[in-house]
Amino acid sequence: MVTPTEHAFRPQIQGAAGTEAASFRILIVDDDPSLRRTFPHVLARPGRIFDECGTIGEAIRCLEHEHYALILLDYRLPDATGLALLDWLVDHNRDEAVIIISGEDAIDAAIGALRRGADDYVRKPYHVAQLQRAVDGALHKGALEKANRLMSQRLKASERLHRYLVESSPDLIFTLDSAGRFTYLNPRVKALLGFDRSTLMRQPFATLVLPEDRKRIDNLLSQPGNLPGESFNVELRLRRNRLKPDGEAESITVSLTGIPMNTQEDDRRMVGLYGVARDISERKRAEEIISFQAYHDQLTHLPNRVLFKDRLELAIAQAQRRNGTLAVMFIDVDRFKLVNDTFGHAEGDALLRAIAARLSATLRRGDTLARLGGDEFTVLLPDITRPEDAEVIARKVLEAISPPIGLSKGQFRATVSVGIALFPRDGGSAEELTRHADVAMYQVKRSGKNAYRFFDPDLNTRHRDRIALENDLRNALVRNEFELHYQPQVSVVQRRIVGLEALLRWQHPVLGPISPATFVQVAEEVGLIGEISAWVLEQACAQVAEWRRAGIEAPRMSINLSAHDFHRSNIVASITECLERHALRPGQFEIEITESIMMNDTAGVTAKLHELRASGISVAIDDFGTGYSALAYLQKFPVSTLKIDRSFVRDLEGPMTNPIIAAITGIARGFELELVAEGVESEEQARALRALGCDVMQGYLFARPSRAADASAWLQCPDRLFEALESRVPLERLAGLAN
């Protein structure tokens, strides 16, 4: 064997697979050394590499280590004929091209060689051009066969991959013929629909489609010319091979992509359809859940505010076309906070669900019940012929709620307040009707709850005034619109001022003076009373400190506190800190509370009142006798003063003596409490009070509530106050009635 001869460049071979760079290794097997040397020269081409050997055995050893594009094989060799090598190539599945070069004249030799797989047979003697053509043809044929094999392998690999993807796809993949019948189904059909492939083959695709969707798919399959582009996508429900408990067939929702199979490029006639159906049931269920949550209350599953407004607007539009009437009810659960605070929010939720169920059972089929949030519900009553229809339903609502509702902690009797607004009488929009029903409901709340009421335009005016008052009240402190007036408490017998009551006044920039009876309750409801009480305390302390710096000795200062102030845990500390900040003695101040404070949170209130008394601050019960007066509370609470309400003093006009005042004065003496009578406006009232043993009085008879400058004048020259009083009523006549 000689060293291979290799040429420096490679030719371009044009084959079935395209133009590819090729390098050909050629093995020369001949026992004539001169021929072995000649062949590489006469057959030389760029990229051809030649190996040579002289026997069949050497050729086999070369083939065991190398692959050749072509073998030039002599027929007669020292150890065997070339047919032996051809047999070896067949036995070892080799694909080398072989050209037999032989000097045999017998035709049998050529036939035997060609039968054993030789590609060509060149008989000696031969012309060089003949050999060159044979070699070029064999190499070209080999290149084509190799390219063809590669292409075939790629096609088979692609087919295997495509089949694997189709067979393993999580989607249902199928083909239909021109009549819409299945011609192929992948195995996914069994898991997705429960059908065996064999049972569906040649069956119409439409048999799997639910009746409601069948018309759409029939139109798409029967009119392929109307398909958008080359494919279409549609959502369908397909029947499953399983029944629901009610006997109806189960179904799934799929997104179907169909690609028409046409006869040829220019012919749009459809001969079949390639389809991919993806199960989107879970996505559709998720969308339905999201949509439900967007328009329904998650606790009661009732429509929420958004859906209620949408339905109300639709009902209004329909009523306008028919000149009809509808009603909106606003329902609020009374005392709902009590359940939450007492039993917890879980019990409150259970109560709301129970109330929602009762309301739903009460309403008509076409009515809409919605939960706006918290304990508020709204009802749409379409197609009512007269207001009395809404009234009937409102009474049914109250009756349905009245039976006790069983909770895990016990039974609870709920009540509701119902406001009703009518279209078109009370408004022409959804927002206006809902707001007016709310205004009517709020009036029911203020009037005692557990009732219904129709909207009245006067209610809306008062409601707007109330909202305006709330807004102005929030800005009153910032704008410095509050001021304190002071009214003296006079001892008739001692002929001196024994106390001052600080009275809050609001000078509204537009409405003028506003009575505390008008705005204090509003301040309590909107949560401003704490700030206002703190301002009153600060101003009163600052005024007493200012009088002291001016050398004026102020008597005891009385300050009113709201029941809401005693809900604050730091109320006592805030009072004492204010006194310390202005360097005032606690004995100079008295805190006035109402009887209702004693009835709420008795233990907490008692502790705070004891702290006040322990610090040296007096405690007075204002308007005593008008609320929940009880001797037990007087024994429990550290009270120092009782104030007789002006309503009792007013009844002292004339010769009759009010027995309630007589009882109050007796209580004060029995408990050794100070006594102050409010609202004294006439001499007859003052004489009657003195006859009953009351010495300290407060009212217009002595002085009206006045600004700090007037109070300063009284304190500096109290004689002026009494001189003015004696010009109208001789004090001796009053003081002489003392016991």
> Model confidence over 375-386: pLDDT tens digits?
999 999 998 888
Over residues 433-459, the mean pLDDT reads: 88
Residue with the bigger pLDDT between 593 and 626: it is 593
Q: Which residues pair with 279 in a beta bridge?
A: 254
Cα(286)–Cα(277) distance, integer angstroms: 19
Phi/psi of residue 19, each to 5°? -85, 120
DSSP code string of 469-537: HHHHHHHHTTTT-EEEEEEEEEETTTTEEEEEEEEEEEEETTTEEE-HHHHHHHHHHHT-HHHHHHHHH
Phi/psi of residue 277, each to 5°? -115, 120
Q: How far is CA 279 from the centre of its chain?
A: 28
Residues of the chain with CATH 3.40.50.2300: 2-152
**What confidence tens digit (pLDDT) does each residue in 296-333 have?**
998 999 999 999 999 999 999 999 998 999 999 999 99
What is the model's pLDDT at position 738? 46
Q: Which residues pair with 643 in a beta bridge?
A: 676
**In the predicted structure, residue 411 carries a pLDDT above the cut 50:** yes
Residue with the bigger pLDDT between 503 and 446: it is 503
Over residues 234-246, the mean pLDDT reads: 84
What is the model's pLDDT at position 574? 92
What is the model's pLDDT at position 14? 41
Conformational region of residue 679, where left means phi above 0, alpha means psi within -120 to 50, and beta covers everything else: left
Q: Which residues pair with 486 in a beta bridge?
A: 502, 706
Q: What is the pTM of this model?
A: 0.51
Cα(535)–Cα(224) distance, integer angstroms: 83
What is the model's pLDDT at position 68? 92
Among 225-239, 250-264, 364-378, 483-497, which is the least confidently predicted range?
A: 225-239
**In the predicted structure, residue 655 carries a pLDDT above the cut 50:** yes
Cα(122)–Cα(544) distance, integer angstroms: 139
User: In this structure, what DSSP letter does residue 404 have?
Assistant: -
Q: Which amino acid is at 360?
A: S
**In the predicted structure, residue 391 carries a pLDDT above the cut 80:** yes
Over residues 80-93, the mean pLDDT reads: 91
Q: Which amino acid is at 14?
A: Q
- Secondary-structure class of domain 471-713 per CATH: alpha beta
**What confidence tens digit (pLDDT) does each residue in 571-581 have?**
899 999 999 99
Confidence of residue 228 (pLDDT cuts 50, 70, 90): very low
Phi/psi of residue 712, each to 5°? -60, -40
What is the model's pLDDT at position 462? 67
Other beta carbons less than 10 A from residue 169's beta carbon: 14
**How distant, in Å, are the alpha carbons of 105, 187, 656 from that of 252?**
80, 17, 90
Confidence of residue 598 (pLDDT cuts 50, 70, 90): low
Confidence of residue 647 (pLDDT cuts 50, 70, 90): confident
**In the predicted structure, residue 395 carries a pLDDT above the cut 70:** yes
Over residues 154-178, the mean pLDDT reads: 84
> Which three-class secondary structure state does DSSP give residue 652?
coil
**In the predicted structure, residue 421 carries a pLDDT above the cut 80:** yes
**How distant, in Å, are the alpha carbons of 484, 503, 538, 542, 586 from that of 580?**
21, 22, 11, 11, 9
Residues of the chain with CATH 3.30.450.20: 169-286
Residues of the chain with CATH 3.30.70.270: 296-455
Cα(96)–Cα(85) distance, integer angstroms: 11
Other beta carbons less than 10 A from residue 418's beta carbon: 27
CATH 3.40.50.10470 fits 169-286, yes or no: no
Instruction: Give the start-end residues of each E strand in 280-375.
Output: 325-333, 368-373
% of the chain with per-residue pLDDT over 90: 35
For 2-152, CATH gives 3.40.50.2300
- Residue 476 tokens read as 């009153």
Over residues 697-719, the mean pLDDT reads: 90
Q: How far is CA 693 from the centre of its chain?
A: 68
What is the model's pLDDT at position 124? 83
What is the model's pLDDT at position 103? 81
**The CATH fold of domain 296-455:** Alpha-Beta Plaits (3.30.70)
Contact 218, 206 (CB under 8 A): yes
Residue 498's closest CA among 554, 560, 559? 554
**What confidence tens digit (pLDDT) does each residue in 3-20 have?**
444 433 333 334 443 434
**In the predicted structure, residue 486 carries a pLDDT above the cut 50:** yes
Sign of the C-alpha dihedral computed for residues 289, 290, 295 and 297 taken in this order: positive
**In the predicted structure, residue 2 carries a pLDDT above the cut 60:** no
Cα(617)–Cα(23) distance, integer angstroms: 116
Mean pLDDT of the chain: 85
Residues of the chain with CATH 3.20.20.450: 471-713
Among 24-28, 41-45, 220-224, 370-374, which is the least confidently predicted range?
A: 220-224
**What confidence tens digit (pLDDT) does each residue in 132-144 have?**
898 988 888 888 8
Among 65-69, 357-361, 629-633, which is the least confidently predicted range?
A: 629-633
User: In this structure, what DSSP letter does residue 699 have?
Assistant: S
